[in-house]
């Protein structure tokens, strides 16, 4: 079924747990060995896998690249086994699978919250919170929260997302749970929503996201790497992780752009998924190792 770290017996056990002993999933989450978010050099390298729950299965030119859950889990197992990988970002289905497989000890778990804005749907901008919520994450030992925040000035669905995100930010601060906002200025492009990756648009999205919630004390940002990242990072004092994005560009160019941005003040690391889990040459370990080296060798962080 796969040719990596996980075996057919691992998946047999996973299916048995889900069918007959589902309580073991929560037990695995609560009892796992946890770590501080800012341990060691203060940098974070998080592997992302929350795309399928929004109906985004494509990678590069393959629109169904992430359709096989067993292959995805195996690639995540490879990524999580590599030195320098600090954690994983996912929806409850992904996190529960990884917990049942025993792969989350000493890893940061980032829970993805709003997946309701399905790719290509008429309601895509109404990005409702359909996955984790703050109370569930706090009670099950999730270490970090994450929300997507697409701001479309021509679509009324944006306002409900803003309101829900503000509420989640306040709840996370009250629970002392770090929350990562991934903001974009977006627009309709045919049947899909397209994100504006100009520097001005990213700076605007940062300004909007930073002001949400009753407290910003636990707010982090997750931002794309665009032209003039220095100007982007001058727009916020919040700790920021870079967004890896989709694969498709030349890997060497992608890694070079990450390396430059990782040296900027305020940048604390990288969150990347499809680029590393589905690299052009299929070598997940090599892609992950390259990214980990960039994150953790980017220099001392000013404290």
Q: If pLDDT is split at 50, 70 and 90, which confidence band does 86 have?
A: very high
Asked whether the beta carbons of 157 and 201 are under 8 A apart, the reply is no
Residue 88's DSSP bridge partners are 47, 109
Q: What is the pLDDT of residue 2?
A: 45
Distance separating alpha carbons of residues 113 and 9, to the nearest angstrom: 31
pLDDT digits (tens, 9 = 90+) for 131-145: 999 999 999 999 999
Written as one string, the DSSP assignment of 164-192 is: HHHHHHHHHHHTT--EEEEEEEEEEETTE
Give the three-state DSSP class for 268.
strand
Q: What's the chain's average pLDDT?
A: 93
Q: What is the pLDDT of residue 291?
A: 96
Domains in the chain, start-ordered, CATH in brackets?
8-296 (3.20.20.70)
Q: If pLDDT is split at 50, 70 and 90, which confidence band does 301 have?
A: very low
Q: Tokens at residue 142, please?
A: 């999730």
Q: If pLDDT is split at 50, 70 and 90, which confidence band does 39 have?
A: confident
**Radius of gyration of the CA atoms of the chain, in A:** 18
pLDDT digits (tens, 9 = 90+) for 194-235: 999 999 999 999 999 999 999 999 999 999 999 999 999 999
Give the three-state DSSP class for 47.
strand
Tally of CA atoms within 13 A in the half-sphere of 237 that contains its CB = 5
Q: What is the pLDDT of residue 251?
A: 80
């Amino acid at each position: 079924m796969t040719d990596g770290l996980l075996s057919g017996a691992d998946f047999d056990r996973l299916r048995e747990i889900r069918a007959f002993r589902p309580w073991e999933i929560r037990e695995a989450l609560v009892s796992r060995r946890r770590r501080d978010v800012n341990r060691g050099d203060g940098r974070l390298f998080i592997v992302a896998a929350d795309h399928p729950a929004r109906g985004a299965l494509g990678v590069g030119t393959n629109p169904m690249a992430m359709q096989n859950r067993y292959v995805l889990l195996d690639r995540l197992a490879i990524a999580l086994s590599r030195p320098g990988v600090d954690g994983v970002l996912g929806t409850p289905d992904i996190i529960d699978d990884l917990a049942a497989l025993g792969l989350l000890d000493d890893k940061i778990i980032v829970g993805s919250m709003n997946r309701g804005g399905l790719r290509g749907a008429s309601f895509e901008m109404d990005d409702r919170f359909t996955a984790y919520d703050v109370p569930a994450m706090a009670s099950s030992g999730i270490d970090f929260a994450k929300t997507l925040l697409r701001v479309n000035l021509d679509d009324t669905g944006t306002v409900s997302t803003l309101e829900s995100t503000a509420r989640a930010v306040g709840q996370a601060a009250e629970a002392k749970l770090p929350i990562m906002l991934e903001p974009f200025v977006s627009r309709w492009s045919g049947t899909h929503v397209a994100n504006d990756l100009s520097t001005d648009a990213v700076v605007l999205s940062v300004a909007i996201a930073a002001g949400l919630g009753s407290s910003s004390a636990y707010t982090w940002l997750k931002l794309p790497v665009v032209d003039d990242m220095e100007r982007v990072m001058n727009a916020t004092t919040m700790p920021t992780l870079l967004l890896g994005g989709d694969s498709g560009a030349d890997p060497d160019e992608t890694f070079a752009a990450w390396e430059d941005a990782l040296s900027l003040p305020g940048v604390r690391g990288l969150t990347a998924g499809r680029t590393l889990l589905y690299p052009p040459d299929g070598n997940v370990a090599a892609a992950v190792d390259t990214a980990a080296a960039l994150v953790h060798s980017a220099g001392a962080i000013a404290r």
